[in-house]
């Protein structure tokens, strides 16, 4: 290992999978002497971990690359050290060598399947530009080193764990099947080993990640294929794991075992992100979603029958090609019927290479925006109503960071709402029962119910 540490700055865009990947890239580079830094200004290596899902996200990368190149020039002019610039993530995968052409100054382009090769790729990049967007045969996960205990502790008591990557659904608007490739699941043994290590390092909550996580079909220790429900049940048995979540799911892959897990596993949080995208059967058909609005509503009924205390979340797209006012009304209708606790909504963004980008009747930008505003107003009303319904209730909060003010600690409710509490002696990593007293714009505020009931496996006392 090098005696003077080199500094690494990873900027992640997009989804939680990129947050996880950023951590694994840092883990892969730790044996090379890289330590993480919070800003590009003092970094020796900058990795932009990019997102390709919508045009806006993808375009951001190029302006950021321009800034990085300026930083390097400035630094050289001031007699400073070199700066290596790398592009990772889905834009790297989708645009590969194009990035080198469009953004001079990039040293390395690395796709998500090659992060375990980062040390070698960086060595090669010293003598010339390198692009690696392969889908290698070797097992990336097996080759990636694990995080040290200190690193895991620094990342907090709620951790991500990727169990599956890629997607075979081919929704007509989506680039994921092209950027992340076909659906691949990790083995149960490998996932359990990673979860055990996280728990051993003090992690209390694990969110299982996958582009299509409930399509998980990993090899079980019994040689049979396990689904996500069984995997959750297995991970729930690991000592120290107090909470489990999973994201992102497809309605077609909510099988009976997974629904039963919502009924049976106290560790599985009563929160589900289940994207529906649209409430119009015609649009759902054109999106190639493989389900109707009625299928979705029926499914929600079944999940709510298994776990009545469930906060629902979803993704929506407004202005998909051919969407009429009537189609949009059907989406509003579905939202009214379901009642969502928190959601993500986007106006349709045509992505090159996807079937929807070539469809006739692209909806004008202004209409896409107007519909998005109307939808978001309704969704915000529902979010506020859900938050208001929590006032007066008692719920367990996992505290994962200091609050904004001295003496304040912040955490997450079972429903993923941020909760702020003013109390002494609550540690990061504690799960404490909190009475919700009020409802702010973005957080709930509460007080601990019974200080003695607190679990004591904190990661770090709050000063």
Asked if residue 13 binds ligand 5AD (CB under 6 A), the reply is no
Closest CB to ligand 5AD among residues 277, 342: 277
Among 48, 130, 176, 284, binds ligand SF4 (CB under 6 A): 176
What residues contact residue 174 under an 8 Å CB cut-off, 6+ apart?
53, 167, 351, 354
Residue 249: CB minimum distance to ligand SF4, A:
9
Tell me which residue of 430, 385, 390, 438 sits closest to 410, measured CA to CA: 430
Read off φ and ψ for residue 56, nearest 5 degrees: -60, -45
User: H or E segment at 119?
Assistant: helix 118-125
CB 216 within 8 A of CB 254: no
Binding mask 169-208 for ligand 5AD (x = CB under 6 A): ----xx----------------------------------
Asked if residue 91 binds ligand SF4 (CB under 6 A), the reply is no
Q: How many CA atoms lie within 13 A of 362 on its CB side?
A: 14
194 alpha-carbon distance from chain centroid: 18
Among 218, 275, 279, 321, binds ligand 5AD (CB under 6 A): 275
Residue 135 interface partner, choices ligand SF4, ligand 5AD, none, CB cut-off 5-8 Å depending on type: none
The neighbouring-strand residues paired with 86 are: 47, 108
List the alpha helices (DSSP H) in 265-392. 281-286, 293-306, 325-338, 365-390
- Among the listed ranges 61-69, 212-220, 341-349, 450-458, the one in contact with ligand 5AD (CB under 6 A) is 341-349
Residue 15: CB minimum distance to ligand 5AD, A:
7
Size of the residue set binding ligand SF4 (CB under 6 A): 10
Among 20, 96, 170, 391, binds ligand SF4 (CB under 6 A): 170
What residues contact residue 353 under an 8 Å CB cut-off, 6+ apart?
94, 175, 178
- SS3 state at 398: strand
Residue 169 interface partner, choices ligand SF4, ligand 5AD, none, CB cut-off 5-8 Å depending on type: ligand SF4
Asked if residue 169 binds ligand SF4 (CB under 6 A), the reply is yes
- Residue 24 vs residues 27, 226, 334, 377, 404: alpha-carbon distances, Å: 5, 25, 39, 37, 29
Indicate the length of the chain as a whole number. Answer: 463
Closest CB to ligand 5AD among residues 202, 275: 275
Asked if residue 174 binds ligand SF4 (CB under 6 A), the reply is yes
Residue 324: CB minimum distance to ligand 5AD, A:
18
Asked if residue 317 binds ligand SF4 (CB under 6 A), the reply is no
Asked if residue 177 binds ligand SF4 (CB under 6 A), the reply is yes
Distance CA 375, CA 338 (A): 14
Here the tokens at position 173 are: 């608007």
The site for ligand SF4 (CB under 6 A) is made up of 167, 169-171, 174, 176-177, 211-212, 250
The site for ligand 5AD (CB under 6 A) is made up of 53-54, 173-174, 275, 277, 315, 317, 346, 348-349, 351
């Amino acid at each position: 290992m090098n005696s003077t540490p080199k500094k690494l700055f990873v900027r992640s865009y997009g989804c939680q999978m990129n947050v996880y990947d950023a951590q694994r890239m840092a883990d892969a580079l730790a044996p090379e002497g890289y330590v993480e830094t919070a800003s590009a200004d003092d970094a020796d290596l900058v990795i932009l971990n990019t997102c390709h899902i919508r045009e806006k996200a993808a375009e951001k990368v190029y302006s950021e690359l321009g800034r990085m190149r300026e930083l390097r020039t400035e630094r050289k002019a001031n007699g400073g050290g070199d700066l290596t610039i790398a592009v990772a993530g889905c834009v790297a995968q989708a645009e590969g060598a194009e990035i080198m052409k469009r953004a001079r100054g990039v040293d390395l382009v690395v796709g998500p399947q090659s992060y375990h090769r980062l040390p070698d790729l960086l060595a090669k990049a010293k003598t010339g530009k390198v692009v690696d967007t392969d889908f290698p045969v070797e097992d990336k996960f097996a080759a990636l080193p694990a995080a040290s205990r200190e690193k895991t502790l620094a990342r907090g008591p709620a951790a991500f764990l990727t169990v599956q990557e890629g997607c075979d659904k081919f929704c007509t608007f989506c680039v994921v099947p092209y950027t992340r490739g076909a659906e691949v699941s990790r083995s149960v043994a490998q996932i359990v080993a990673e979860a055990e290590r996280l728990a051993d390092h003090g992690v209390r909550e694990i969110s299982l990640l996958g582009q299509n996580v409930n399509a998980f079909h990993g090899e079980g220790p019994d040689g049979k294929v396990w689904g996500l429900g069984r995997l959750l049940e297995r991970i729930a048995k690991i000592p120290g794991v107090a909470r489990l979540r999973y994201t992102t799911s497809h309605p077609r892959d909510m099988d009976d075992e997974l629904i039963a897990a919502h009924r049976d596993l106290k560790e599985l949080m009563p929160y589900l992100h289940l994207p529906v995208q649209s409430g119009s059967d015609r649009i759902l058909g054109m999106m190639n979603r493989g389900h109707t609005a009625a299928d979705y509503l029926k499914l929600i009924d079944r999940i709510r029958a298994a776990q009545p205390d469930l906060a629902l979340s979803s993704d929506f797209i407004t202005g998909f090609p051919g969407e009429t006012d009537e189609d949009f009304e059907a989406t509003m209708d579905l939202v009214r019927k379901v009642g969502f606790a928190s959601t993500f909504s986007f106006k349709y963004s045509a992505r090159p290479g996807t079937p929807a980008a070539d469809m006739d009747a692209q909806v004008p930008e202004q209409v896409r925006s107007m519909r998005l505003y109307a939808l978001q107003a309704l969704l915000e009303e529902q979010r506020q109503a859900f938050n208001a319904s929590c006032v007066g209730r008692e719920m367990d909060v996992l505290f994962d960071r200091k609050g904004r003010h001295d003496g304040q600690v912040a955490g997450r409710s079972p429903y993923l709402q941020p909760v702020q509490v003013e109390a002494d002696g609550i540690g990061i990593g504690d799960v404490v029962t909190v009475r919700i007293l009020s409802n702010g714009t973005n957080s709930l505020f509460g007080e601990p119910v019974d200080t003695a009931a607190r679990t004591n496996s904190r990661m770090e006392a709050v000063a």
